[in-house]
Amino acid sequence: MTTPVVSLRERKKLATRRQLRAAALHLVAEHGMANVTVEDIAAAADVSPRTFFNYFPSKEAALFGGHDPDRAAGLRDRVAYQAPGEPALEVLRTVLAQDAQDMADELRSLGDDPADWLRRMKVARNDPHVRAAHAAQMARIERAIAEGLAARIGADVETDPYPSVVAAAAVGVMRACVAFWAGSGGTAYLGQLIDQAFRALADGLPEHSALRDMTSGKDQN
């Protein structure tokens, strides 16, 4: 297989996006969400506010690393239509493990020490404004997962509780795994951690499982 050729323009766009996200993480961790503006983030990344909005719709999106509606829609469609014929829970496990690993890889791509970025994320999430924005983001993700599951199994989220119950459990697994990963300084492999957590959940969360056998330090992010 050949590696796709990325144009100079695309590489510059990716570099700018990373600079903006790094600036957002640094400034919010240092000063708090309420005390950081889009103009501050743009200035720290040496671009204009207009350029900022070419990449992110808000400072919250820059902090969390994406355009939330796009991520939610993508998760909904992948849960609904990926791997036709496969059991819904298997597909959900695969989709969310990959989504989490993509998030970890993006954080690592910012450069410097990944553990340092994780410390900044942890500090930022102690900010009440960040917690509120993150809670709203996760609520949208939960709804998207429920809608994707409903479409996959031919259910209606308004009359069948199953998709919403599974989506709520899935978001809980994601939150717990990301918190553990961040607390480990990124030494746990996030995608594998979420994969094993979903397997344990499907097995009824037995006291002894591969999830508890995972140790930090095997892989980085």
pLDDT of amino acid 219: 42
pLDDT averaged over the chain?
86
pLDDT of amino acid 123: 74
More confident residue, 113 or 54: 54
Same domain, 54 and 83: no
pLDDT of amino acid 148: 97
| Domain extent at residue 11 | 1-65
Same domain, 196 and 92: yes
More confident residue, 107 or 73: 73
Write down which residue in 65, 81, 96 finishes a domain: 65
Instruction: For residue 145, give the nearest of 91, 84, 86 by alpha carbon.
Output: 91
What are the distances in angstroms from CA 132 to CA 53, 115, 117, 146, 177?
Answer: 22, 24, 20, 21, 19
Eight-state DSSP code of residue 127: S
Residue 101 pLDDT exceeds 90: no
* 78-88 pLDDT tens trace: 999 999 999 99
How far apart CA 97 and CA 130 sit, in angstroms, is 24
pLDDT of amino acid 202: 87
Same domain, 115 and 58: no
Same domain, 110 and 27: no
* 159-170 pLDDT tens trace: 999 999 999 999
Same domain, 97 and 125: yes
Q: Under a CB-based contact definition with an 8 Å cutoff, are residues 164 and 146 in contact?
A: yes
Number of structural domains, the chain?
Answer: 2
Same domain, 96 and 4: no
DSSP result, 84-117? TTS-HHHHHHHHHHHHHHHHHHHHHTT-S-HHHH
pLDDT of amino acid 122: 74
Tell me the CATH number at 182: 1.10.357.10
How far apart CA 75 and CA 146 sit, in angstroms, is 10
Mapping DSSP onto H, E and C, the string for 146-162 reads HHHHHHHHCCCCCCCCH
Same domain, 56 and 71: no
Residue 216 pLDDT exceeds 50: no
Residue 5 pLDDT exceeds 70: no
More confident residue, 189 or 42: 42
Ramachandran sector of residue 141 (left: φ over 0; alpha: ψ -120 to 50; beta: rest): alpha
Instruction: Indicate the pLDDT class of residue 133, thresholds 50, 70 and 90.
Output: confident
Same domain, 53 and 84: no
Write down which residue in 65, 81, 109 finishes a domain: 65
Structural Rg of the chain based on CA atoms: 18
pLDDT of amino acid 128: 87
